[in-house]
Amino acid sequence: MIPSKRINEGIVRILSTILLSIGMLIVVTPLVWMLVSALKPRDAVNTFPPQWIPTDQVKVAINGKEYFLYDIAVNGEQRQLALLEKNGAIGIFVNPQNPEESYNLSVASGKRVTQIKLHWENFVLAVTKVPFGRYILNTLLVVVFGTIGTVASCTLVAYGFARFRSKAMPILFLLLLSTIMLPPQVTLIPTFIVFKKIGWYDTLLPLIIPAFFANAWDVFLLRQFFMTLPTELDDAARIDGCGPFGILWHIIIPQSYPVIATVTIFTVIYAWNDFYAPLIYLQNQEHWTLALGLQSFNAVYTNLGNLLMAASTLMVIPPILMFFFAQKLFIQGVVISGIKG
């Protein structure tokens, strides 16, 4: 007989798998819908019921004009006829091969013929409607330099809090953490005035330079990891002639790739998707980032839902690819120790 404990474990495992699958479907469904809508023709985006497969309605040319093709029953036989004219609920249907052959039939009894077609040209049209190339360049500048500044400054500050000892260190660290509780809206006006006075308004500098002055979230994450590394490694490095920066470069950083990768990924995704700061500091369209440009695209081309979905898909792809290629470092456990044996 199978022990009841094993049966219960099996039931729990099955239920967990079902719940996780349902959660995955809920999370993935909007992404799938966005991609599917990006490949649809313009008039198929807002149809009801929703179409999960991109299809085009088939048209045929008759006497130099195009008409919709219908699947409709004629004398008990299913045929494909073109709707030439509609008068109320009744339509004049003709045989596309022989336009002289016509029938007066109920339009509701037929269904338009469709065929699967992927409109890849939507992506080209989306990026040419507005200067998305310029938006991408501006976004890359903010992402690259902002990430470099964040990782470098936060690593230095976290190293100082983790390895240097002073009576003022706990107070300074507490002050740093207290900035987390300060909403950015509180400092928005004075910060904006400062950037306006020094001539940085409507430039990318307010989006890049603050990254070089660290932030409490990433400093806390890095510091907690650095404190798990044995201090005996620092002593051994000092014996070999390493100074504080040598210890950081040769001892701390090589063992901290997982946490540094995590900070990098979070910073890149935040900078890539940031809408708040560009909206405040950028005015000229030449300086807009992708998030701001996409919002403007939505406001101007509201009726072009397929192009909006195509542009949104292009914006989502880089963060997904980044996580895909960096997932090994991202999910790696932070239980690295420099001493074994």
Percent of the chain having pLDDT more than 90? 26
Confidence of residue 5 (pLDDT cuts 50, 70, 90): low
**Domain extent listing, the chain:** 4-38, 55-116, 123-331
User: Please, which residues bridge with residue 70 across strands?
Assistant: 81, 112
d(CA 190, CA 165): 34
Lowest mean pLDDT among 105-119, 210-224, 236-250, 272-286: 105-119
**Across 200-206, average pLDDT:** 93
Global pTM value: 0.79
Query: Residue 13 and residue 155: Cα distance in Å, rounded?
Result: 41
Instruction: Using pLDDT thresholds of 50, 70 and 90, give the confidence band for residue 294.
Output: confident
Question: What is the CATH topology of the domain spanning 123-331?
Answer: MetI-like fold (1.10.3720)
Cα–Cα distance for residue pair 167/152, rounded to 1 Å:
25
User: Rounded distance, CA 234 to CA 255, Å?
Assistant: 12
* DSSP H or E run through 239: helix 232-239
Please state the φ and ψ torsions of residue 302, each to the nearest 5 degrees: -60, -35
Q: What mean pLDDT comes out for the span 202-212?
A: 93
Summarised one tens digit per residue, pLDDT across range 50-74 is 788 888 888 888 877 888 888 888 8
Between CA 301 and CA 298 the distance in angstroms is: 5
Q: State yes or no: pLDDT of 206 exceeds 90.
A: yes
Phi, psi of 57 (to 5 degrees): -80, 125
Q: For residue 125, what pLDDT band results from cuts at 50, 70 and 90?
A: confident
Sequence-ordered strand ranges (E) for 128-280: none
- Residue 62 confidence (pLDDT): 82
| pLDDT at residue 300 greater than cutoff 90 | no
For a pLDDT cut of 70, what percent of the chain falls above it? 95
Cβ neighbours around 140 below 10 Å, total: 15
Q: What is the mean pLDDT of residues 305-317?
A: 87
- Give Cα 262 to chain centroid, integer Å: 16
> Which pLDDT belongs to residue 159?
93
Q: Residue 288 — pLDDT band, cuts 50, 70, 90?
A: very high
Q: How big is the chain, counted in residues? A: 341
User: Which residues have CB under 8 Å from 150's CB, separation 6+?
Assistant: 211, 212, 214, 215, 218, 263, 267
Q: How confident is the model at residue 332 (pLDDT cuts 50, 70, 90)?
A: low
Tokens of 115: 């065929």
Output the six-digit token pair for 129.
Answer: 């409607």
Residue 121 tokens read as 């040209």
Report pLDDT for 1. Answer: 47
Mean pLDDT over each residue of the chain, to the nearest integer: 85
Report the range of poorest mean pLDDT among 37-41, 75-79, 218-222. Answer: 75-79
Nearest to 71 by CA among 96, 89, 47: 96
User: What is the structure's pLDDT at 330?
Assistant: 64
CA 70 to chain CA centroid, nearest Å: 40
Could you tell me whether strands 59-62 and 65-74 are parallel, antiparallel, or unpaired per DSSP bridges? antiparallel
pLDDT digits (tens, 9 = 90+) for 239-272: 888 888 898 898 899 888 888 988 998 899 999 9
